[in-house]
Chains A and B, each alone.
Chain A
Amino acid sequence: MNVSKVFRQGLLSNNPVLVQLLGMCSTMAISTTLFNGVGMGVSVLIILTCSNIVIALLRKLIPSKVRIACFIVVITAFVTIVDLILRAFVPALSSSLGVFIPLIAVNCIILGRAEAFAAKNSVLLSAADGIGQGLGYTLVLTLISIVREFLGSGTFGGGLLNGGEGIRLIPAQFPALLVVLPFGGFLALGSLIALVQYSQNRKKPSPAVTSGGKEAIAE
């Protein structure tokens, strides 16, 4: 395994949300505006990379009996640090994401990558994995946010552009509010997963492709 392959895996072929189906709760809860989606994605990217690096550094020291507890302590420390820094220096994002920042501590992408990758690989590879997986997560959040914001609120870039109002693309009376509700989150995420699985499987029509989801677990 080399660095660039590990990095690229996170973007599509082993995307944390679309292929490993991890971190779905935050994906659906937060992807209502572009600002929230990108902000959450970048926060997770930073926390995931830091925790991956530290866990890879400590992987030979941590006894397997208490490894999960050790991982969680490291992860929650980084989550709290990011939470405090956001509150101090990016209050707009902190108030917009609210409780979802502290909840990154229980985001299964981070513990999942710690257990499945960082605990078994070198620091360099783990860092590449953290960045790749984090970018993959950010990418999915950004895509779903754009679609849900467009269909549900009729705007683009809410919370970020045009003084926080976003650029209005559909007149206010038309957008389907349903899309902003959790129901719309399920729908948007499900459609995206189906789309990606379809395009991935079409490329290489060999029997091996059916195990697309299992690769992640076996890794």
Chain B
Amino acid sequence: MEKKKKSGLFTPVIVLGLIALISAGALGAVNLLTEEPIAERQAVSRADAMREVLAADRYEATAIAGVFEAHSDSVIPSLLGYVIETEPSGFGGAINLVTGVSANGEVTGIAIISMTETSGLGTNADKPDWRAQFAGISGKAALSKDGGTIDALTGATITSRAIVDGVNKALAVFEENNLKREGLV
């Protein structure tokens, strides 16, 4: 790669600048094309996650950030419970978790929208069998090695604790905002 020396400072700057400019243009174009499908996918996976943790006909955002009311169209009163989003920190960053809480304060289910946990270990948290352990818990969840009822994932205690933490945060939000409605469910 020996080029003529006379090019000096200008040529490298211009060439690099042009390459960067063209790359930026290409990225902009691809972003334009993929923006909509990506947003759609995210909306769909969030909706799927909500339906999974607490099946309802409608979800309505509340004044509290990350808390959604789950309503049914066929029973009166229509409020079934809440879907609460939390972001506990796992082994590889924030885990985007949704927890379904029934109107009387019981966890109905949990689902993970996105996470960056260790592939093959922490990502096992998404397995339905493991997540099912959270259903029916009220008050506070804990791992069995911490004196609770949740069995930690093999080789992924940090991820397991993070999920437990996220569920507890959701239950705390539920408690703090007096969302409990006795006799509804």
Contacts and interface: CB of A to CB of B under 8 A. Distances in A.
Nearest to B21: A73
7 contacts: A30-B119, A32-B121, A58-B19, A64-B2, A74-B19, A81-B30, A95-B114
Interface string A139-162: 000000000010011000010000
Given A74-B23, A119-B1, A181-B155, A98 B34 contact: no
A177 B154 contact: yes
Nearest to A95: B114
Contact of A91 (B15, B24, B31, B45): B45
B119 A80 contact: no
Q: Interface residues of A toward B: which range?
A: 35 or more
Contacts of B26: 77, 81
A88 B37 contact: yes
A87 B38 contact: yes
Interface string B146-160: 000000001100000
Nearest to B2: A64
A180 B19 contact: no
Nearest to B4: A63
A75 B136 CA distance: 49
Contact of B116 (A63, A74, A81, A98): A98
A87 B34 contact: yes
**Could you tell me the dominant secondary structure of chain B's interface residues?**
helix
A96 B16 CA distance: 34
A85 B27 CA distance: 11
B91 to A, nearest CB: 12
A195 interface: no
A63 B3 contact: yes
A158 B120 CA distance: 9
Which of A77, A100, A153 lies at the interface centre, i.e. has the most chain B CB atoms within 10 A of its CB? A77
A73 B16 contact: yes
B16 A180 contact: no
A24 interface: no
B45 A63 contact: no
B12 A84 contact: no
A74 B16 CA distance: 10
A99 B16 contact: no
B14 to A, nearest CB: 9
A97 B119 CA distance: 7
Given A99-B92, A177-B154, A70 B30 contact: no
Contacts of B20: 73
Nearest to B117: A98
A121 interface: no
A33 B23 CA distance: 33
A80 B25 CA distance: 12
A152 B137 CA distance: 32
A88 B33 CA distance: 9
Given A77-B27, A85-B30, A95-B115, 20 more contacts: A33-B119, A36-B119, A63-B7, A64-B1, A64-B2, A66-B12, A66-B15, A73-B19, A76-B23, A80-B30, A81-B26, A81-B27, A81-B30, A88-B33, A88-B37, A98-B119, A152-B120, A180-B120, A180-B121, A181-B121
A120 B2 CA distance: 11
Interface string B33-50: 110011001000100000
B78 interface: no
Contacts of A80: 27, 30
B34 A85 contact: yes
